[in-house]
Amino acid sequence: MYFVGIDVGSLSTETVILDHAGAVVSYHISSTGANSRTAGEKSFAAALASGGIAQSEVNFTVATGYGRVSIPFADKTVTEITCHARGAVHLFPATQTIIDVGGQDSKVISVSQDGKVADFSMNDKCAAGTGRFLEVMARALEIGLDRMGPLSMRSTRDISISSMCTVFAESEVISLVARATPKEDILNAIHQSICNRLAPLMDAVGIRMEVTMTGGVAKNTGIVEKIREKVGGRINVPEEPQIVGALGAALIARDMSAHAQ
């Protein structure tokens, strides 16, 4: 008997499969592309295949993420806010605050002692300061996403990027490159600007230790470091931060199936 969580985000889709004991037996990450339904189906099939599981063995499926409603075979949809909280608390039980920076939105979630969402705040206007922003900047700098973090750590000079808008910030970065500003300093500034965009969300909810970071952007060590400086304490980063939403969804699927029986 297996439980599935599928997180269809704006940039990437993840599937996590749990066994009856709640252990992860398989997971899969792929990019969403234009069609969230196809992305969900493909991701689900890939995760089943890599775990050697037949679809008939799946007991309950929860879909989450912005494309959650386009997964016809899901038994239930739950928002990514609830799922990230569930996943983060499962991985780091002492978590009280979750900072999730995904493809096009970021959220700060506060959980109560019993692991339930107590409050949250989410960017609701524009996608500056999210994964998409980082992608655009990586392209402008012609470096891989995975190199951004380590490189930024070598920055020796503080500069700042003043534009909030992704498009304007991109041209700001291009002109910095043209002026031969070292890439590490530009990256440092990009990371700082993402952290600045998160600050109002953090203030709205309030940061309580421990803090766990989830979402693909948590793979960027430079940003994690900036946030660590801002909150003034350790930040838990899961081994695979990108699947925390899907993990939470799978855990909820397991709970719901138990309830249904």
Terminal CA-CA length for the chain = 13
Q: Any contact of residue 114 with other proteins (CB under 8 A)?
A: no
Q: Going residue by residue from 29 to 68, which x/- string records binding to other proteins, judged by CB under 8 A?
A: -------------------------------------x--
**Which of 78, 88 has the CB closer to other proteins?**
78
Q: Any contact of residue 120 with other proteins (CB under 8 A)?
A: yes
Q: Given the rule CB under 8 A, which of 53-61, 117-125, 207-215, 253-261 is the region that contacts other proteins?
A: 117-125
The answer to whether the CB of 106 falls within 8 A of the CB of 197 is yes
Q: In the set 8, 47, 61, 80, which binds other proteins (CB under 8 A)?
A: 80
Q: Any contact of residue 78 with other proteins (CB under 8 A)?
A: yes
Whole-angstrom distance, CA of residue 41 vs CA of residue 120: 30
Whole-angstrom distance, CA of residue 195 vs CA of residue 177: 21
Buried b (16+ CB within 10 A) or exposed e, 85-108: bbbbbbbbeebbbbbbbbbbbbbb
Q: In the set 53, 118, 143, 164, which binds other proteins (CB under 8 A)?
A: 118
Q: Any contact of residue 82 with other proteins (CB under 8 A)?
A: yes
Q: In the set 7, 14, 105, 240, which binds other proteins (CB under 8 A)?
A: 105
Q: Any contact of residue 117 with other proteins (CB under 8 A)?
A: yes
**Which of 85, 148 has the CB closer to other proteins?**
85
Q: Which residues bind other proteins (CB under 8 A)?
A: 66, 78-82, 105, 116-120, 122, 124-125
